[in-house]
Structure 1
């Protein structure tokens, strides 16, 4: 269900860029701590040290505010990983995910339930967080196919992004621990590469 405003309606915004960033950082931190459902404008107001009226002038309801925070989220940069082999590329993904310290996983986990009932939030999550990862992983796999490491006829090709992103999200759900480099390296080696029938070159 979409949250509706309970404070003054929209008006001109005079937020400085620095103040806007402070508010959006506060939103992302609260999402990881309490999740979307429990997040309130009062919480954001207190954490960002700003008035609710200021928030509502710029973002008329909670979904718009969270969508703006997602837009400013820094993704784990896997698009720059290109080592020349698929195992090397997956190792690079594991390293970057470990350096992230589970922040992205906690953020996505906090929104997993909420996006089912809010198409605006789901679209913001897909557009600003997920799509960049998907494009990078498809390119990574395409290079592996071109090198002959993976057959273009392998059935698991269609599920490669889900296998990789699923590993980055599932560790916390299953074990309560944030994804780390050691875990992801082992998962990629034992699950992803065998699924793709990887052939060293």
Structure 2
């Protein structure tokens, strides 16, 4: 008996790096605009100017798509800051956060409720957005201790990363406004540095 050959199912074509970047950027923009709960594949596809079918072939649920976008997110480059003094470093952090335009703050704010019920999403946010900032800030204060600007015995040293990151993202939560360079500089000079008993060399 003659049989008809079966055509193998065609797998989804690979997305180009440029197309993935556009999709992930669209995800983060939609997150900041409407939050995780209101984010839909329709909104992302419209923002990215791609079809929903393209999204669903690669990410079966919006949680998977959002987690992937967070894993590719670009952070404020605190890790590249090294002016030679802690005060100078914090001034530069304030500048870079101001240039960020509150994008990181809005992203974190939009995810606050969603991550409580989704471990994978929470882990992606922690590893790829929060932890990178915290590690860079730990490096800043460790260099300050090595230079003698801050005592290694100062009880505030372990909390320095949270103090700085909290200022960067907390302004929006408290006032609804994005932090700007002037506000952050004033906060760092009047709150963070005094808490460390900062002594410029």
**TM value normalised by structure 1:** 0.91
- 1:13/1:58 contact within 8 Å kept: no
SS of residue in 2 equivalent to 1:151: coil
Task: Note the C-alpha offset of 1:13.
Answer: 4.2
Once superposed, which parts of structure 1, at least 4 consecutive aligned residues long, lie more than 6 Å away? none
The superposition leaves residues 109-156 of structure 1 with CA deviations (integer Å, 9 ceiling, x where unpaired) of: 111111111110011111111121111111110011111111111111
Give the number of equivalent residue pairs: 191
Query: Residue 84 of structure 2 corresponds to which residue in structure 1?
Result: 84
Alpha-carbon RMSD: 1.2
1:148-200 CA deviation, whole Å, 9 max, x = no partner? 11111111111111100000011111122111100000000111011111112
* 1:142-181 matches, cutoff 5 A: 142-181=142-181
Checking the alignment, whether the CA contact within 8 Å between 1:24 and 1:69 is kept in structure 2 is yes
Cross-structure match for 1:183: 183
Counterpart secondary structure, 1:199: coil
| Deviation for aligned residue 1:72 | 2.0
| Map of 1:63 onto structure 2 | 63
Instruction: Give a deviation string over 1:7-42, Cα, whole Å, max 9, x none.
Output: xxxx63432222222211111110010001110112
In structure 2, how many angstroms separate the alpha carbons of the residues matched to 1:181 and 1:82? 18
1:197 aligns with 2:188: no
**Which has the higher Rg, Structure 1 or Structure 2?**
2
Structure 2: tracts of 5 or more residues without a match: 1-10
Moved more, 167-176 or 14-23: 14-23
2:33 is aligned to 33
Residue 122 of structure 1 corresponds to: 122
